[in-house]
Structure 1
Amino acid sequence: MTTATEVSTKLAAPVPRGGIAQSVRDSLVVARRNLIRMMRIPEVVVFGLVQPIMFVVLFSYVFGGAIGVPGSSGPADSEVYREFLMAGIFAQTVTFATAGAGAGIADDMHKGLIDRFRSLPMSRGAVLTGRTLADLAQSALTLVVLALVALLIGWRAHNGVVDMLAGFGLLLLLGYAFSWIGALIGLTVRTPEAATSGGLIWLFPLTFVSIAFVPSSSMPTVLQHIAEWNPFSATVQATRELFGNLPAGYPVPDAWPMQHPVLASAIWSVLIIMFFRTLAVRKYRSATA
């Protein structure tokens, strides 16, 4: 005979449903919830587009005439620099979405929504996977708009549609990988404000100590090595090659990630996803609001 204690225990601790198919369905449900939420707050998406567009305009027209790219026709060929720049702006845009991912999860934690999700019989990783998939969809939309702006200022992909799509695929993979870092930060801190600060404070040195905006040859020796082994740099270099945005005489650094950037970019992104997803899901299981 089932006792009242046994019944209350079953109600208080629902068993998560298992299986890969169920986990995928749960993740898509959570992703749909987050996408609907984004559509109901369109200013979040709009403001997310303003910053990368500002970077494009500022770097192209304010700094473009002063920064030279090795292998270009002149010491500061602005048209060459615009094409050189865009891969860095694309990569910076998808990685800066990390702060938004962390803030969103921290907000859900603060409001007790995560605890409500944990009380449901659903896959333990579905809440975070759904959130990161929604962020991936937002990053894809942002890249489309940013690419249109880039076309207006003279950027072109010269190696065909397949290579162009491969380049954008690597960018989205990097953004998805970094969203898991944001998820871990959002579960670790106590407020959305702290998650936003924590999501940006390490991104600035990561993106600027890279080859996103200037060649590594212009840096001190120590920073050159850091920039060339930076996972962010690998994706930037890969997209430049796939887009055909490197000048004909551009000297590629000898570091392995710079010599094999497509493979290095994919490896870095997969390793980041595996490592930080594991930590984030573990943190999710034990976190309290």
Structure 2
Amino acid sequence: MTAPALTARPPLPERLRWAAADGLTLVGRELSRLRQEPGELIAALIFPAVMVVLFGYVFGSAIKVPGGGNYREYLMPGLFVMVSFTSVMAVTLRVATDASRGVMDRFRSMPMARSAVPFGQAGADLIHGILALVIMAATGLIVGWHAHRGLWPTAEAFLLLLLMRHALGWAGCYLGLVVRNEQTADQFVPLVFPVTMLSNSFVPTGGMPSWLQAIADWNPVSAATAASRQLFGNPGAPTGGRDLAWPLAHPVTATLLWSLALIAVFAPLSVRTFQRRGR
């Protein structure tokens, strides 16, 4: 008797096309789920607008912008970044919910690319991020925020914010696969706020104690906020002084490096964890 012929592995381009098609299918699944649960979508879209009004007028009456300027113009880049960073917990909660309800086990039993599930979660969150940025930018324009450096730098700023959000989406997918419990994941949600608050998003870091200022200056939230202020031409943009921490002296480069590092770490971790959880 002759040994049965081994099934040939498809070539790399075909595997990539298969993974991309499966991933886009799962992006569509996440978006269709929002249509079935419109309350979640409405809350996600209202939250950015509420943040603009609340922080803009509550903090704006008490905080002076370094070098002068409108506080709401100083604030808006920080709010853009803050909403982008909250995505990590939103994705964590969605993935943990699917895992606890057995949805991930059903995906593993299907003939689909293993990278498609985390890709679909991160991709769907990126679409949520675009909608949130549009609503927040429109609200910002109403309350007096403007981008002053022209079309291309403004587009660069928004693309940088979306890249950071996409990177955080991969981190959230990994955390959700590790936690696998929606109640536990829900308890982690408030932890994102100290990270965003301990930065230059709402107040200058110069008035903080030296040890706390060092933490805030090296916080990726501060780098992304400084990069956005620089590209939008808003008050509080870094001036390149020698006393600045490296991420604030080179905020665009620092934000790109943070984003690429997060993707390089958490994308393979998410795929590997998804594969191993079924064993």
1:269 corresponds to which residue?
A: 259
How much does 1:198 deviate? 2.1
2:213 corresponds to which residue?
A: 224
- Aligned partners of 2:269, 2:237: CA distance in 1, in Å? 43
| Amino acid in structure 1 at the alignment position of 2:147 | A
Contact kept in structure 2, 1:229 and 1:255, CA below 8 Å: yes
Which residue of the other structure, out of 118, 140, 149, is the alignment partner of 2:139?
A: 149
1:178 corresponds to which residue?
A: 168
- State yes or no: 1:159 paired with 2:155: no
| Percent identity between the two aligned chains | 40
Counterparts in 2 of 1:248 and 1:44: CA distance versus 1, 3 Å:
closer
How much does 1:40 deviate? 2.2
- Aligned partners of 2:230, 2:42: CA distance in 1, in Å? 30
Moved over 6 A (4+): 248-251
Choose 153-162 or 102-111, whichever is displaced more: 102-111
1:238 corresponds to which residue?
A: 227
1:85 corresponds to which residue?
A: 75
1:29 corresponds to which residue?
A: 25
- State yes or no: 1:138 paired with 2:128: yes
How much does 1:55 deviate? 2.1
> Residues 143-183 of structure 1: CA distance to partner in whole angstroms, max 9, x if unpaired?
10111011100000001111111101111111111112211
Stretches of structure 2 lacking an aligned partner (at least 5 in a row): none
Equivalent pairs counted in the alignment come to 271
Choose 250-259 or 173-182, whichever is displaced more: 250-259
Query: What RMSD, in angstroms, separates the aligned Cα atoms of the two structures?
Result: 2.4
- State yes or no: 1:206 paired with 2:202: no
- State yes or no: 1:45 paired with 2:47: no
Contact kept in structure 2, 1:217 and 1:224, CA below 8 Å: yes
Question: What pairs up with 1:82-121 in 2 under 5 angstroms?
Answer: 82-121=72-111
> Residues 228-285 of structure 1: CA distance to partner in whole angstroms, max 9, x if unpaired?
1111111111011000002589686511111111111011011011111222222111
TM, length-normalised to structure 2: 0.90
- Aligned partners of 2:159, 2:153: CA distance in 1, in Å? 10
Contact kept in structure 1, 2:171 and 2:266, CA below 8 Å: yes
Stretches of structure 1 lacking an aligned partner (at least 5 in a row): none
Contact kept in structure 1, 2:226 and 2:237, CA below 8 Å: no
- Aligned partners of 2:199, 2:253: CA distance in 1, in Å? 18
| Amino acid in structure 1 at the alignment position of 2:113 | S
Choose 228-237 or 279-288, whichever is displaced more: 279-288
- Aligned partners of 1:249, 1:258: CA distance in 2, in Å? 6
Choose 140-149 or 96-105, whichever is displaced more: 96-105
